[in-house]
Amino acid sequence: MQISGLEIRIRGHFVNTKHDPISLIDTPHGYVDWLTDLKTRIHSAPQRAALSVNHELVLLYWQIGRDIRSGVSKCLYLCMPLREHQSFAI
């Protein structure tokens, strides 16, 4: 074994010390761009999912609040004396 700088030779053959993948064939045209796009989509998917869930939760809470407000208004309308019904707007 012979060490000179970053090159290592074992039995006359150079050994890859950078841990880069060794390719036996050339990558197809556009493969690197496709792989980069794929990685971007995979990493952004959880963020989009979280935003979607938050959107749905906000809508749910808004609907629950609307239902409570509507129920309280109806209860107040039914519980008040008859003479006050005309001045109360639901």
Alpha-carbon distance 42 to 38, whole Å? 6
Contact between 76 and 89 under an 8 Å Cβ cutoff? The reply is no
> What is the reported pTM?
0.45
φ/ψ of 13, rounded to 5, equals -110, 140
Spell out the per-residue pLDDT of the chain, length 90, in tens.
Answer: 444 445 555 566 655 556 666 667 788 889 989 999 999 999 999 999 999 999 999 999 999 988 888 877 777 767 766 555 555 555
Alpha-carbon distance 76 to 90, whole Å? 10
Helical segments of the chain, H only? 31-79
Q: How many CA atoms lie within 13 A of 61 on its CB side?
A: 6
